[in-house]
Amino acid sequence: MAATPRTVEEIFKDFTGRRTAILRALTYDVDEFYGICDPEKENLCLYGHPNESWEVTLPAEEVPPELPEPALGINFARDGMNRKDWLSLVAVHSDCWLLSVAFYLGARLNAYERKRLFGMINDIPTVFEVVSERKSVKDKPSAAESGSKAKGNAKRSSDGQVKSIQKAAAVAADDSYEDEDEEHGDTQCGSCGGNYNADEFWIGCDICERWYHGKCVKITPAKAESIKQYKCPSCTMKRSRP
């Protein structure tokens, strides 16, 4: 059995694989999918797998299941609705399932990581948008492309939470990130006095709570990840005085 995705990038890769599988069932393989969903059969579910394969089958027997379950009984409404409307309905429920799986796998992510994951997911069309022809399948970027768009600079504080004042570039248009820019717009570097810039790495002192350019205090993003409690040069000097 494959290892459970843990990082934002691994969970997003799992999400895009399952999404691609469901899109294939509802578009390229739609005739095969439609034929399998016989209303005379038992409650059927549409599963998308990380390897981009899809499957219509009965739900898992174990309770609770390993992952959240897709919509149950999608086949029952097949002959009672217009084909396009039925496919759109399945698409909506599939979008809900994809999100539930992604955030189930990401249950241990912190607030910053969850926001970044949602931003990466929200940056690509939903299954419903593609199936209802609101968006083209060609609009879907690869997992690598989407992953490269999301970036953020953060430091981990003593309580294990990520402390950051930089937004994720992949969702720059999102209102929550606009609010973050407003919140930190007046922040100045405690070393050089320069104003906050979202494109630069910043780190906050856990003692005086001032923010600094990483380059001003010679701290890189990689180095910040290993720091449990950061003390700025000023606070370090105060503590070392007799």
Backbone angles phi, psi at 214, to 5 degrees: -55, -40
| Rounded alpha-carbon distances, angstroms, from residue 183 to 22, 179, 186 | 40, 6, 8
Q: Read off the pLDDT of residues 155-166 as tens digits, 9 standing for 90 and up.
A: 444 444 444 444
pLDDT at 174 over 50: no
The string of pLDDT tens digits covering residues 196-209 is 777 788 888 888 88
Q: In the numeric block, which tokens belong to residue 106?
A: 């990401």
- Sign of the CA dihedral with 231 first, then 232, 237, and 242 last: negative
CA dihedral 196, 201, 206, 209 (to 10 degrees): 0
Q: What would the pLDDT profile of 8-66 be if each residue is shown by its tens digit?
A: 999 999 999 999 999 999 999 999 999 999 999 999 999 999 999 999 999 888 888 88
Contact 66, 54 (CB under 8 A): no
* In the chain, % of residues over pLDDT 70: 75
Nearest Cα residue to 230 out of 218, 242, 241, 70: 218
Please compute Rg for the chain using Cα positions: 23
- Using an 8 Å Cβ cutoff, are 119 and 150 in contact? yes
Complete DSSP assignment for 10-44: HHHHHHHHHHHHHHHHHTTTHHHHHHH--TTSS--
Residues 121-172: tens digit of each pLDDT = 999 999 999 998 875 454 444 444 444 333 344 444 444 444 444 433 333 4
Three-class secondary structure of residue 117 per DSSP: helix
| Domains of the chain with CATH codes | 8-149 (no CATH), 154-240 (3.30.40.10)
More confident of the two residues 192 and 46? 46
Looking from the CA of 222 toward its CB, the CA atoms found within 13 Å total 0
Residue 179 pLDDT > 80: no
Beta bridge mates, 234: none
Of 51, 132, 139, 36, the C-alpha closest to 91 is: 132
Neighbouring-strand partners of residue 48: 54
Residue recorded with tokens 């609705």: 81
